[in-house]
Each structure stands twice: as C-alpha cells, then as structure tokens.
C-alpha cells in the first residue's frame, strides 16, 4: 500500500505464530527459470507462490500514472514465475482492469478456482473467470487487494476485513482470504493477507506495529474458532501467506510468529523481498528506504505440518524492459523510466510435501440429475444453464450463452461428469444451481446446497429432491470409501 514519506517503510503481510526456526540462506539470485524447472509435483507435493503485484489504482497514485500496469501484467504472465504452482496468493490487486487481466490470465494457465478480491462488493467466495471487481464492501475508497487462486478445488472460501487500520490503509478494505483446498483427497488451508503498512500517517513505527498486531490477532481468532468447531482438522496443514509488512530482521518478526502461532521455514534466493537499492520500481517509489524482508509463507502450529517446507525469494523480470511512468512517492516528481522488475516486491515461492492421506478416505459420484419440474412457457420448453459442483469441483457447467434449448420435463440432465470427488475428512458439499434463460428475466429452477458427513450419514446411493423458486430435480449420488 502506498505510504507517506518519512523513513518508515510499508510493512509486509500475513500472520503466524510461535517458534522461530533458523533461516538458511544461499546466494541471492534464484531466478524464475529455476521455478519453472520444478513445475511437476507429485500428488503429495505442494507448491505455492506469493506475489505483491503493485497494481495501483488512480486513487493510490493521485494521478493517472500506474507504472504501465497492463504491460507489467503481460510480463508477469509470460515470465514463468507464476507457472507450475498449486496455489498463487496475490496482493495489491487494486486496479480493477489489470487485476482482472491478471486473474483471467492465471485462469487460462489452469488456476480455475479463484476467490474474489478481499473487500470487493458482493463477495461470495469462489469465483472464476471474468469476476466482478467492484470494490467497497462496507465502505472505504479501495478494495483489500488480496486474492487466492488454485489449480485444485477450493471447497470453501471466506473473507474478513480488518477492524482497524491507520493512515492510507484505513481507506482500503484490507483483510484476509481464507480457503479450504483439496488436492487429490489431501485437504489443506491457505490464508492470504496483506496487513497494515508502516506509514508516517500512523504516527510512529510502534503504532503501525500495534495495528498489525491487532490484525494478526484477528486472523488467529478466526482460525481458532474454526479449529474449535472442527472445521479445520489438526491433521490438515494451515498456511499463512502474504506480504506481512513485518521485516524478518526486526524484533517484530518473532512477535508476529507468536501472535499467529506460526513457524517459518528455511529460505534461499534473494535476501530481501523488498529492496529499493536493487529493485528498479522500489527504487523509484521509495528511493530513501532500506531493504526489508516482508513476504512469508508460514505454517500454523497445532496441525500436521508440511514436510520439507522451504521457500525461495525470486526476482521475476521482463525481457525486453518495460517503459513506465510513475511518481516518486506521495508529492514526488513523475519519472519516466525503463525497468525489468515487474513489481516493487519480489515473489516468494515455497514448497513441501503434504501429509499422508488418512487411512479412511471417501469418494462421491453424482449418478444422475433428473429434472422433474420446470418453468416451461408453452411449447417452447426451458433453456437451461448453470453449475453442479462437489466440494468446489465442477461436475457440470453450462454457460448462459450455451443454454440447453427447449427442454420439457421430466428428463435427465445431460453431460454430468462421472468423476469421483475425493475427500479425506468425510465431508462433501454438493452445490447445484440451474436457471432458465428467459428474455424477460432468468428464472431459478434449482438453487440448493446439501452436505454429506461421514459422522452423520450412511455410505451408498442417495436420492434427494432439490428445489428452486420455479422447479425441482431429483439428485442421485453415491458415496463410497477406498
């Protein structure tokens, strides 16, 4: 987030707690090419990357200078740094047009499961391509800039906007996105965040740190409540990822870990994730600031940990250089320059191995959806579109433009995938929404969610009736173990 000038730097984001593990450093030049060389991961492998994108809005630069957001996004997608990951966590998606450009580009690269940007209006959790990027969920001048995207089904997603903020950050909807993700039957949880920046408008460094501490406590309270309700199992890893605005080389770092009940892993690559002495864009925006290490991929304590968890700070670069125009901080002069750095932060990639699957695993298959009641208008029939998903994994999806024409009830819904969805914790959520594409307004035929739990429900085949305002369907599904 943009800060006022004085020798206080904008801090990193995300949270975690307790013990501080020793950090191991090697040479500071891990490249994006090295990331690509490690793209292929086994079922138990997990690769995540965090990137503060610096996609600033006009409000944040106070003019039309945006450091050529569109060209930088194209270079981000072409650089290879964001390829081959399981999960990508992003910050500073403030500019609506180019944030959408980046998220759609990642969707095309296989990251088909995406949250909305934290603080965006009508935040309904999981969204995919062409998301609605409007801001101002609950007030403020700007959204929160954070999103999580995944190659694997996001089974559930929630956001929380921080209760406190200071200086420029209090005008943004900063907070965190929580996701529950299922990779081939292995469940893990990711929290993406971008806490309070160190800003002269907060009054002092200590006051900015106090605001961050309150935000870390919010994250901890949110996760603790889920743990107490058994919504997050102790057998499932919980990752806290983001630009935390906490410098790893200050006393605030172990304090952050303690508040978040988190541990850090070993680190290689660039020594600092924010380095105005070396990063061209950071040097333009913050020429007087010292280097800091602000970006983290932490693990929450009290959960089965990732094995061999380690991070590398990467420096994505453009080739050829990009022409940019931008202001040298609030009230500064506008500069024109050519740069290869794609953001004022470097990217942090982390990887490890997920815990072994539990001995018991469950599978759910949707056998049939029988449409038994609809909104037929005379002889024309209904023109249906919609989605059917299990734990966030789409098994049937028809876009409005491809609506099934002239359907007369009863009949079986065509094109449903027979793929079995795996779940290691014995819980499945089936979400079905089917609409009739009408010229005068689309009617809801079916819109319902239902949950199967191993603790409460039996194995075998089940048939249930699901309904909407204008229709109904019989849903048949089978749950087995194996």
pLDDT digit string (tens) for 58-71?
Answer: 766 555 567 999 99
State which residues of the chain have pLDDT below 50.
Answer: 1-40, 132-133, 136-138, 359
* Torsion angle of the four alpha carbons 444, 446, 452, 457, in this order, in degrees rounded to the nearest 10: 140
For residues 216 and 17, give the distance between their C-alpha atoms in angstroms, rounded to a whole number: 9
The per-residue pLDDT for range 121-160, each reduced to its tens digit, is 665 555 555 554 455 444 567 889 999 999 999 989 999 9
Query: Do the beta carbons of residue 114 and residue 131 sit within 8 Å?
Result: yes
pLDDT at position 141, please? 74
pLDDT at residue number 97: 86
pLDDT digits (tens, 9 = 90+) for 70-116: 999 999 999 999 999 999 999 999 988 899 899 999 999 999 999 98
- 99 with 133: CB under 8 angstroms? yes
Rounded CA-CA distance 149/156 in Å is 12
Tens-digit pLDDT profile for residues 416-449: 999 999 877 778 999 999 988 877 777 889 999 9
Task: Please count the other Cβ atoms lying within 10 Å of the Cβ belonging to residue 251.
Answer: 9
CA separation, residue 30 to residues 7, 27, 79 (Å): 29, 8, 14
What's the whole-model pTM score? 0.72
CB 192 within 8 A of CB 12: no
Per-residue b/e over 152-189, b at no fewer than 16 CB within 10 Å? bbbbbbebbbbeebbbbbbebbbbbbbbbbbbebbbbb
pLDDT of residue 69: 94
* pLDDT for the residue numbered 64: 56
């Amino acid at each position: 987030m943009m800060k006022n000038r004085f020798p206080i730097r904008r801090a990193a984001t995300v949270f975690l707690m307790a013990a501080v593990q020793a950090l191991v450093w090697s040479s500071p030049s891990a490249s994006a090419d090295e990331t690509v060389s490690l793209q292929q991961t086994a079922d138990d492998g997990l690769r995540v990357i965090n990137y503060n994108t610096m996609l600033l809005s006009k409000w944040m630069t106070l003019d039309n200078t945006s450091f050529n957001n569109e060209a930088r996004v194209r270079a981000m997608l072409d650089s290879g740094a964001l390829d081959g990951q399981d999960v990508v966590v992003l910050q500073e998606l403030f500019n609506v047009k180019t944030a959408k450009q980046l998220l759609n580009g990642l969707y095309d690269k296989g990251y088909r499961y995406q949250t909305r940007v934290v603080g965006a209006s009508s935040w309904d959790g999981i969204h995919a391509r062409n998301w609605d990027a409007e801001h101002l969920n609950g007030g403020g001048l700007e959204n929160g800039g954070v999103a999580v995207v995944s190659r694997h089904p996001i089974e559930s997603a929630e956001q929380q906007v921080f209760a406190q903020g200071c200086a420029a950050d209090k005008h943004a909807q900063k907070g965190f996105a929580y996701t529950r993700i299922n990779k081939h039957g292995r469940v893990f949880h990711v929290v993406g965040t971008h806490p309070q920046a160190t800003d002269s408008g907060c009054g002092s460094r200590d006051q900015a740190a106090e605001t961050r501490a309150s935000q870390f406590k919010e994250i901890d309270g949110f996760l603790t409540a889920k743990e107490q309700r058994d919504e997050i199992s102790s057998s499932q890893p919980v990752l806290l990822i983001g630009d935390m605005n906490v410098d790893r080389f200050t006393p605030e770092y172990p304090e952050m870990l303690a508040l978040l009940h988190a541990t850090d892993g070993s680190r290689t690559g660039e020594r600092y994730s924010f380095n105005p002495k070396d990063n061209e864009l950071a040097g333009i925006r913050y020429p007087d600031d010292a280097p800091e290490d602000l970006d983290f991929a932490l693990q929450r304590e009290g959960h089965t940990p990732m094995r061999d968890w380690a991070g590398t700070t990467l420096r994505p670069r453009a080739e050829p250089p990009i022409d940019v125009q931008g202001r040298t901080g609030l009230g500064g002069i506008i500069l024109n320059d050519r740069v290869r750095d794609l953001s004022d932060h470097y990217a942090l990639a982390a990887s490890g191995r997920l815990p072994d699957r539990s001995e018991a695993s469950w599978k759910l298959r949707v056998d049939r959806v029988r449409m038994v009641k609809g909104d037929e208008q005379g002889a024309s029939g209904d023109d249906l579109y919609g989605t059917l998903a299990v734990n966030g994994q789409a098994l049937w999806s028809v876009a409005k433009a491809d609506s099934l024409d002239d359907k007369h009830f009863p009949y079986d819904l065509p094109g449903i995938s027979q793929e079995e969805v795996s779940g290691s914790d014995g819980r499945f959520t089936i979400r079905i929404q089917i609409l009739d594409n009408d010229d005068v307004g689309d009617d809801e035929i079916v819109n319902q969610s239902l949950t199967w739990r191993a603790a409460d429900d039996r194995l075998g085949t089940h048939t249930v009736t699901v309904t909407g305002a204008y229709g109904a369907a019989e849903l048949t599904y089978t749950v087995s173990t194996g």
